[in-house]
């Protein structure tokens, strides 16, 4: 990775990403927009890489991606400069633990499929979604489903047949009414990383 900013890494400012930035051009482009770096080569069908992040990890891309999604969920460190460090530090671990507890997930500070799913789904506007719709929330839905079980969806904001099929699969998996419509209960389950 090349750093084009001549200031020391600790002095570089990293703005909190907006929801629009997180969605901009899903896939590798969005990862670059969120983290400022290219996506890892082992990416999901949507172009995102959903790494297992665990305490002690120092992989720059993965940790900054995690921190960007935490910020999008309004989880901020108590000291501003620590969040810019590309290390899964104790402060970030505690934020993840708090987030996992809020979602009723295992509070092990390991960010896996369920935690990624919850981080993504909680940024959505939660509008009712069904086949034929095209909104940013559809893209967040597609990203969340891919994070949860690598469903192979293209994150293109279009709620088509493939998205409906994966929604039905997800609803069946978590014991919801299988109708292919993403309503309150489906959003709640996704936001809890179920």
3 belongs to a structural domain: no
Per-residue model confidence as pLDDT tens digits over 108-132: 999 988 898 888 888 877 789 999 9
- Domain span at residue 176 reads 121-191
- DSSP H helical ranges for the chain: 19-23, 28-35, 60-72, 90-102, 113-121, 136-149, 161-174, 184-191
Per-residue model confidence as pLDDT tens digits over 50-94: 778 888 766 667 787 888 888 888 887 766 545 666 778 888 899
Q: How many domains is the chain built from?
A: 1
Task: Say how far apart CA 186 and CA 194 lie, in whole Å.
Answer: 10
36 belongs to a structural domain: no
33 belongs to a structural domain: no
Kindly list the distances between the CA atom of residue 20 and the CA atoms of 25, 79, 93, 95, 129, in Å, as whole numbers in the listed order.
10, 25, 26, 23, 19
At 48, the pLDDT band (50, 70, 90 cuts) reads: low
73 belongs to a structural domain: no
pTM: 0.64
Q: What is the CATH number of the domain that holds 138?
A: 1.10.101.10
């Amino acid at each position: 990775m090349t750093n084009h900013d001549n200031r020391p890494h600790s002095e570089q400012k990293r703005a909190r990403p907006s929801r629009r930035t997180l969605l901009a051009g899903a896939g590798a482009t969005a990862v670059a927009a969120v983290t400022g770096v290219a996506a890892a080569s082992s990416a999901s069908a949507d172009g995102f890489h959903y790494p297992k992040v665990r305490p002690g990890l120092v992989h720059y891309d993965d940790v900054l991606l995690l921190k960007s999604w935490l910020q999008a969920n309004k989880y901020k460190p108590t000291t501003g400069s620590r969040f810019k460090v590309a290390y899964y530090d104790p402060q970030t671990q505690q934020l993840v633990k708090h987030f996992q507890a809020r979602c009723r997930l295992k509070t092990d500070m390991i960010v896996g499929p369920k935690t990624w799913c919850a981080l993504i789904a909680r940024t959505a506007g939660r509008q009712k979604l069904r086949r034929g719709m095209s909104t940013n929330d559809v893209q967040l839905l597609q990203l969340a489903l891919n994070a949860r079980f690598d469903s192979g969806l293209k994150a293109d904001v279009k709620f088509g047949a493939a998205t409906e099929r994966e929604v039905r699969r997800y609803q069946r998996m978590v014991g919801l009414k299988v109708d292919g419509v993403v309503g309150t209960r489906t959003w709640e389950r996704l936001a809890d990383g179920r």
